[in-house]
Amino acid sequence: MNSTGHTCPGCGRDDLVQAVPAAYLAGRDSVTSRERNSDGDMRTVTRRVSTALSEALAPVPKEPTDGLGCLGVFTGFVAVVSFLVWVLAGKAFEEVPDGVYFGEPPSGPDPDLAFLGWVSGLALCATLLVVVVLIRRRGEFARLTRGRLRAEELWARGWYCHRCGTVHLRDVPHEDARPLSLQEFRERVWERGGYGDLAARQRATG
Ligand SMILES: [Zn+2]
């Protein structure tokens, strides 16, 4: 990592200080850094930065993804399959030529299969309900994070020290440059974006 000229207030050195956006993006890739080995020699090391750090530095919360989407896919599948079985089985009955029945020929689908119609209908309702909830939730999330540009403005002024594991802000009015833990940094950035209360629920664990 090239020296940024920005000294970390934690360790007083600048060799492992990186702009937060760069550290965030590097979490999806490998980075090359200059490190001192046990003999005291400098060497170039290429390694993968943990995505945990990248996630901890995220300027916006993660979009809620629980099992609801999977549930919707499952109920949709159940609706289609039960409907097809119901229709095809019913049709098969209708196509049996008259005369092969002993006694009364059944009219319409086998009543034993009627429950499949109910299953299909209920599964369809459940699927529609899931879709409606997902759409509403997506809209709420977009509303919640509409202040993300303000948050990213502050976020971009953060500097991460890979030695200390802390972030400090530079040239930000009303903010001192003391080292912040990843969680403290998240709280400041997310509060600026108007979604600070989520920082307590989605804690930064880099
Ligand atoms: Zn440091």
Is 8 among the domain residues?
no
Is 80 exceeded by the pLDDT of residue 119? yes
Helix or strand or coil: residue 151? helix
Does 136 fall in a domain? yes
Residue type, 22: A
Higher pLDDT, 21 or 102: 21
Determine contact, residues 85/116, Cβ cutoff 8 Å: yes
Expressed in angstroms and rounded, the spacing between residue 163 Cα and the centre of ligand 1 is: 5
Chain segment 162-184, per-residue pLDDT in tens? 999 999 998 888 888 899 999 99
Of the residues 123, 144, 165, which one is the last residue of a structural domain? 144
Residue 6 lies in a domain: no
Instruction: Categorize the per-residue pLDDT at 11 as very low, low, confident or very high, splitting at 50, 70 and 90.
Output: very high
Q: Kindly report the backbone phi and psi dihedral angles of residue 17, in degrees, each rounded to the nearest multiple of 5, phi listed first.
A: -95, 135
Predicted pLDDT of residue 174: 81
**d(CA 13, ligand 1 centre) in Å:** 6
Per-residue confidence (pLDDT) for residue 92, from 0 to 100: 62
Same domain for 38 and 134, yes or no, is: no
Same domain, 55 and 153: yes
Mean pLDDT over residues 105-119, rounded? 70
Task: Decide if pLDDT at 105 tops 60.
Answer: no
Residue 11 Cα to ligand 1 middle (Å): 4
User: Is position 11 within any domain?
Assistant: no
Whether 45 and 30 share a structural domain: yes
The structural domain count of the chain equals 2
Question: In this predicted model, which residue has the larger pLDDT, 38 or 199?
Answer: 199
Write out the H or E segment, with its range, that includes residue 150.
helix 148-155
Query: Cα(180) to centroid of ligand 1, in Å?
Result: 11
The answer, yes or no, to whether residue 190 has pLDDT greater than 80, is yes
Quote the tokens at residue 206: 């880099």
CA of 185 to the centre of ligand 1 (A): 15
Q: What is the structure's pLDDT at 67?
A: 79
Encode pLDDT of 26-81 as tens digits.
Answer: 876 665 677 777 777 778 777 654 578 888 999 998 877 667 888 899 999 999 99
Q: Is residue 3 part of a domain?
A: no
Say yes or no: 152 and 140 in one domain.
no
Which residue range is the domain that position 132 belongs to?
68-144
Indicate if 154 and 122 belong to the same structural domain. no
**How far, in Å, is the centroid of ligand 1 from the Cα of 164?**
4
pLDDT of residue 51: 72
Q: Rounded to a whole number, what is the largest CA-CA distance in the chain?
A: 97
Å from CA of 196 to ligand 1 middle: 26
73 and 131 in a common domain: yes
pLDDT tens readout for residues 122-167:
999 999 999 999 999 889 899 989 999 999 999 999 999 999 999 9
Q: Are 169 and 175 in contact (CB under 8 A)?
A: yes
Q: Which amino acid is at 177?
A: A
Considering 144, 163, 184, which residue would you say is the last residue of a domain? 144
Shared domain for 133 and 37, answered yes or no, is: no
Identify whether residues 76 and 54 lie together within a single domain. no
| 3-class secondary structure, 119 | helix
36 phi, psi to nearest 5 deg: -95, 125
Instruction: Tell me the CA–centroid distance for residue 63 and ligand 1, in Å.
Output: 31
Q: Give yes or no: residues 73 and 109 share one domain.
A: yes
* Same-domain check for residues 169 and 188: yes
- Interval between CA 56 and ligand 1 midpoint (Å): 17
**Nearest by Cα to 206 from 33, 11, 26:** 26
Q: Residues 159, 179: one domain?
A: yes
Residues with CB under 5 A from ligand 1 (ion): 8, 10-11, 161, 163-164
Per-residue model confidence (pLDDT) at position 39: 77
Q: How far is the CA of 30 from the centre of ligand 1 (A)?
A: 21
Residues 87 and 130 in one domain: yes
The pLDDT of residue 97: 58
CA distances from 167 to 20, 184, 206 (A): 8, 9, 12
Tell me whether residue 191 is in a domain.
Answer: yes
- The CB density around residue 18, as the number of other CB atoms within 10 Å, is 21
Average pLDDT over residues 4-23: 89
- Tell me, in angstroms, the distance from the centre of ligand 1 to residue 114's CA: 70
